[in-house]
A and B are shown apart, each in its own frame.
Chain A
Amino acid sequence: MSDMRYLHRADLPTLFSAIREAGYRLIGPREETGQGGLVYREIDGVEDLPQGVRDSQAPGHYRLVKTGSARCFAWANTASAIKPYLYAPREKLWRAVRKDGRVHFEAVEREAAKTAILGVRACDLAALELQDAHFLQGAYVDPYYKARRERLLLVAVNCTHAADTCFCASTGDGPAAREGYDLLLDELEEGYLLRVGSERGAMIAADLPLQPASAAQQAEASAQSEACARQQQRALPSQQRLQQLDALLEDARWTRIAERCLSCGNCTAVCPTCFCHREFEVPALDGKSTEHWRDADSCFNEDHSYIVGEVVRHGSRERYRQWMTHKLFNWVPQYGRIGCTGCGRCTTWCPASIDFVLEANVLLGLAAAPEVELPHVDGSEAAE
């Protein structure tokens, strides 16, 4: 614990300038104007941070609440993960030029901008580790992901507040970050505890007016983190217990889920570990060249499992089953652990309020199926 330092809130702008001076563009949490949600976007200064804002989340529900607190990171998580900054939702892979009957292929070699992300959550850090395993550590390396990953600076902030949809304590990924960050902050009432996680982070920390952290401050940080874990109402069964889903592929519960699931793919779009993408061509109108692109795809789309003349997973029952069993069971032999880090976004952003954790528990006989299965209705919304 000797490596902990303290940064007063009044000195937070020095972190911004140190990151800027190191050549990074700065991404951080901010209120999306008119959208009522927090997102990771480019931020200019401390004034862009969501100070005194907390998120209220439930299945199918996300609202921001003003608290009047001086804290800037007292929210649980953002609408979208940090994933789009590494694995782009839309990307040009290469270009082909046709000339004199020949086809010439040109790779898109793009220099990734040095990017710092401030306010990264433990769940998203753990998810990033899984995306690294998928895109970088297999037999083939994804050069586009790699280019961005190598020029990334991660400033994580431990959670002090869990949303009703959070369950990272049960997956073992939060609410405190363990590794994978360059700098890690604990936000206290008056300022920040700061830990260095890498050489890259150390170079930033060297430029900050840091003070030694007191034992009281460290105790406050631990207490916050523990309280945040206790606050979590949802829990995923253990990885071992989840293996039993394998024997439940024909369970009637999948049909009950499919009666509500719209196959919209929102859950896969906000999931920090989902990696599916489709490839497609964008030919130029003059016919002289064409571009090969990829777009984020979803296993909820009809053509995801298309093979000539047939769609393997033809309904919502088959697609939700594919999604859940991949995350909670089939991911283990692929990447050594489940593919869920407990962020809860799939549940929050489901327009049919399907509760991922609850459904896993219902399937395994660990929870009773809810009697009324209607989308969450917010009183204030009804009044609008």
Chain B
Amino acid sequence: MKPANPYLPWEAEIVDRIQETPDIFTWRLRFTDREVARQYGFKHGQFNMLYLYGVGEVAISVMSNEGEELLHTIRAVGRVTRAMMELKVGDHIGVRGPFGSAWPLDVARGKDIVFVTAGLGCAPVTSSIKHVVANRADYGRLVIMQSVRHRNEGLWEPQYDEWRSLPDTQVLLTASRDKTRWPHWHLGRVSVLLDEAQYDKQNCVVMMCGPDQMMADTSRTLVDLGVPGESIHVSLERNMQCAVGHCGHCQLGQHFVCKDGPIFTWPQVAELMRVKGY
């Protein structure tokens, strides 16, 4: 839905709040205007601009949209998100969206699906994983790879365990800085998981979200392994203030990451990500 003034947020209420880790929390939000709640719809991988009264806005991917409720998982790292962590159930915020491009779940039909995420990069793919799980017959093998620094920073481990038990599904987790290797866990960066992942390299769709360097390294490795570049999709993060392609902060070469992205195919950004500081 497109409002007349794309800069103006809608009011939403925090109806539930989960403290996931010391600095990560999840909000369950509901638009106070029922008409907005009814009309709001997002595509997997898109983001919203969340607004904190008197402080400002921040771009956060939509984790899921269940019924008329929106889920956002947020790490308190910046000026806005740190203040957002102080809010309680019943408090009101502003929401604009959804914005940006989506994961290619339609073209992925019939193919093996590979998710590669690092840290909180797991949140923007959650709704897509749920979509694949809910429509399991439409897709081939499902491989989920997630890396964190320490296992205790990892989110939703019971959820990963549940996915692991599904047919034709592989869930690979790794901790890059832990000393102890836990059951079902690997030690090292996401690259250690790529050797174990089983999927049809010629007939798969890869969806990736994490730090730039991790996505660039992983994409190059996958291409070397024989995955066509066009099959790899990355979700980028840049400074976003307007979210509608006007403010200019998110530019990467010819792309406005907010409207042309945040999800790009690897060939669209491969050369750009090679240039340091571009």
| A→B interface (CB under 8 Å) | 93-94, 96, 98, 101-105, 107, 134-135, 138-143, 249-250, 275-281, 283, 287, 290, 292, 294, 297, 299, 303-309, 312-315, 317-318, 321-322, 325-326, 330, 332-334
Query: Apart from A101-B90, A299-B248, what are 9 other A-B pairs with CB-CB below 8 Å?
Result: A96-B54, A101-B91, A102-B92, A103-B92, A134-B246, A141-B6, A250-B275, A277-B246, A334-B256
Cα(A299)–Cα(B277), bound, Å: 12
B277 engages A318 (CB within 8 Å)? yes
A281 engages B246 (CB within 8 Å)? no
B residues 1-25 near A (Cβ < 8 Å) are: 2, 4-11
A279 engages B242 (CB within 8 Å)? yes
Mark B84-105 against chain A: 1 for CB-CB distance below 8 A, else 0: 0000001111100000000000
Cα(A103)–Cα(B93), bound, Å: 7
Residues of B within 8 A of A313 (CB): 277-278
Complex partner residue of A93 from B7, B77, B92, CB under 8 angstroms: B7
Cα(A90)–Cα(B198), bound, Å: 54
A281 engages B248 (CB within 8 Å)? no
From residue B91, how far is it (CB to closest CB) to chain A in Å?
Answer: 7
Cα(A163)–Cα(B240), bound, Å: 38
From residue A323, how far is it (CB to closest CB) to chain B in Å?
Answer: 11
DSSP majority for the A interface?
mixed
Complex partner residue of A290 from B11, B54, B90, B253, CB under 8 angstroms: B54
Query: Can you show 6 pairs from A to B with CB atoms below 8 A apart?
Result: A140-B6, A283-B54, A304-B248, A312-B239, A318-B277, A334-B254
Cα(A257)–Cα(B101), bound, Å: 36
A276 engages B248 (CB within 8 Å)? yes
Cα(A187)–Cα(B125), bound, Å: 63
Measured CB to CB, the nearest residue on chain B to A275 is B248
B56 engages A280 (CB within 8 Å)? yes
Cα(A307)–Cα(B277), bound, Å: 12
Residues of A within 8 A of B275 (CB): 249-250
Assuming A275-B246, A281-B54, A290-B53, is B8 touching A249 (CB within 8 A)?
Answer: no
Mark B227-265 against chain A: 1 for CB-CB distance below 8 A, else 0: 000000000011101101111110101101001000000
A105 engages B57 (CB within 8 Å)? no
Is B32's beta carbon under 8 Å from chain A? Answer: yes
Is B167's beta carbon under 8 Å from chain A? Answer: no
Residues of A within 8 A of B57 (CB): 279
Complex partner residue of A140 from B54, B93, B244, CB under 8 angstroms: B244
Is B78's beta carbon under 8 Å from chain A? Answer: yes
Cα(A313)–Cα(B9), bound, Å: 30
Residues of B within 8 A of A141 (CB): 6
Mark B55-80 against chain A: 1 for CB-CB distance below 8 A, else 0: 11100000000000000000001100
A321 engages B241 (CB within 8 Å)? no
Cα(A248)–Cα(B247), bound, Å: 26
Measured CB to CB, the nearest residue on chain B to A145 is B246
Measured CB to CB, the nearest residue on chain B to A312 is B277
B11 engages A249 (CB within 8 Å)? no
Residues of B within 8 A of A306 (CB): 239
A278 engages B53 (CB within 8 Å)? no
B245 engages A138 (CB within 8 Å)? yes
A297 engages B277 (CB within 8 Å)? no
Cα(A139)–Cα(B248), bound, Å: 15
Cα(A280)–Cα(B54), bound, Å: 9
Cα(A98)–Cα(B94), bound, Å: 12
B259 engages A326 (CB within 8 Å)? no
Cα(A318)–Cα(B5), bound, Å: 34
Residues of A within 8 A of B245 (CB): 138-140
From residue B6, how far is it (CB to closest CB) to chain A in Å?
Answer: 4
Assuming A94-B8, A103-B94, A281-B55, is B78 touching A308 (CB within 8 A)?
Answer: yes
Mark B114-149 against chain A: 1 for CB-CB distance below 8 A, else 0: 000000000000000000000000000000000000
Measured CB to CB, the nearest residue on chain A to B53 is A103
Cα(A279)–Cα(B248), bound, Å: 11
Cα(A321)–Cα(B91), bound, Å: 44
From residue A280, how far is it (CB to closest CB) to chain B in Å?
Answer: 7
Closest 9 CB pairs of A and B: A276-B248, A318-B277, A283-B54, A140-B244, A290-B54, A140-B6, A333-B254, A330-B254, A103-B92
Measured CB to CB, the nearest residue on chain B to A284 is B54
B248 engages A101 (CB within 8 Å)? no
Residues of A within 8 A of B51 (CB): 96
B254 engages A307 (CB within 8 Å)? no
Measured CB to CB, the nearest residue on chain A to B238 is A307
Measured CB to CB, the nearest residue on chain A to B93 is A103
Residues of A within 8 A of B93 (CB): 103
A105 engages B239 (CB within 8 Å)? no
B247 engages A104 (CB within 8 Å)? no
Assuming A140-B246, A143-B4, A279-B247, is B91 touching A249 (CB within 8 A)?
Answer: no
Residues of A within 8 A of B8 (CB): 93-94, 105, 107
A102 engages B242 (CB within 8 Å)? no
From residue B259, how far is it (CB to closest CB) to chain A in Å?
Answer: 7
B247 engages A297 (CB within 8 Å)? yes
B94 engages A105 (CB within 8 Å)? yes
From residue B67, how far is it (CB to closest CB) to chain A in Å?
Answer: 22
B249 engages A107 (CB within 8 Å)? no
B55 engages A318 (CB within 8 Å)? no
Cα(A139)–Cα(B238), bound, Å: 20
B residues 23-54 near A (Cβ < 8 Å) are: 32, 51, 53-54
